[in-house]
């Protein structure tokens, strides 16, 4: 693709979760499958040049290096801003700010690790959320960053909406004397179930089985929302954050 299009500056892979990890591993694989579906339906439009596997032209690196400190934030002469917690996201913003053409083709499949437990997942997603927030804060609101600002606003709205739903549901259950089925809302609920199963279809029977009850994945979403809020609080309080190194077993 780079050889065929001289204007294309970078090509990024679409990541799939490795096998294993039990329940939490499958939750991550379902999440990644939905992200792949989103990118493929947007005809390969790049959201993040993933650190798992991306290919750049040397001139793209040179352009970022030359623009540091003027057109894009960061130390002059550096390709990567080493202070950024999410360097792949930051480099994506830098190239988008410079108007670079990029692509995430569905044909480019790469495998990434899944976090083995809740603690490791929390640390990983805390870095992701904090990094994304700090990146757009450094760049400000521009044409290149607008979609990323809207994404963070949507995440914030999602936290408020889901927790409000749980609160209303609890109040309703405590206040109700009888329980009746509303077929209108039952149909709406069925549509949500179908959506969750279809969007995780590529993950096979394990992914579909996890998605079907819907409440299992809702618990996973609540956990991710908690990490998002933790990132916001840490930024406000000025706390330091670091990377999440997960030891890997060495194969023989």
Spatial contact of 44 and 214, defined as CB atoms under 8 Å apart: no
Bridge partner list, 8: 101
DSSP 85: S
Sign of torsion, CA 159 163 168 169?
Answer: positive
Q: Strands (DSSP E) along the chain, which ranges?
A: 8-12, 14-17, 54-56, 101-103, 109-112
The Cα 89–Cα 132 span in angstroms is: 7
What are the mean pLDDT values of the chain's consecutive 10-residue runs (252 residues total)? 94 92 96 91 89 94 96 93 90 96 92 93 93 94 95 94 92 85 88 95 95 94 95 88 68 49
Q: Give residue 57's pLDDT.
A: 96
Q: Give residue 252's pLDDT.
A: 43
Single out the residue of 59, 60, 47, 57 nearest to residue 15, CA to CA. Answer: 47
Q: What is the pTM of this model?
A: 0.90
The Cα 110–Cα 2 span in angstroms is: 18
């Amino acid at each position: 693709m780079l050889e065929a299009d001289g204007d294309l500056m970078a090509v990024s892979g679409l990541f799939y979760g490795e096998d294993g990890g039990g329940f939490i591993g499958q939750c991550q694989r379902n999440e990644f499958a939905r992200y792949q579906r989103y990118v493929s339906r947007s005809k390969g439009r790049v959201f993040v040049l993933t650190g798992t596997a991306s290919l750049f032209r040397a001139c793209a690196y040179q352009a970022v290096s030359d623009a540091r400190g003027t057109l894009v934030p960061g130390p002059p002469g550096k390709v990567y801003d080493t202070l950024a917690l999410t360097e792949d996201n930051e480099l994506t913003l830098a190239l988008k700010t410079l108007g670079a053409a990029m692509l995430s083709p569905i044909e480019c499949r790469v495998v990434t690790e899944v976090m083995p437990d809740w603690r490791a997942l929390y640390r990983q997603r805390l870095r992701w959320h904090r990094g994304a927030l700090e990146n757009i804060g450094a760049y400000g609101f521009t044409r290149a960053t607008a979609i990323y600002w809207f994404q963070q606003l949507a995440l914030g709205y999602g936290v408020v909406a889901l927790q409000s739903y749980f609160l209303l549901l609890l109040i309703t259950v405590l206040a109700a004397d009888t329980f009746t089925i509303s077929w209108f809302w039952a149909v709406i609920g069925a549509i949500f179930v179908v959506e969750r199963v279809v969007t995780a279809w590529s993950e096979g029977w394990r992914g579909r089985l996890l998605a079907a009850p819907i409440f299992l994945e809702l618990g996973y979403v609540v956990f991710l929302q908690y990490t998002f809020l933790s990132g916001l609080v840490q930024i406000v309080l000025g706390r330091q954050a670091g990377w999440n190194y997960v030891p890997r077993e060495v194969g023989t």
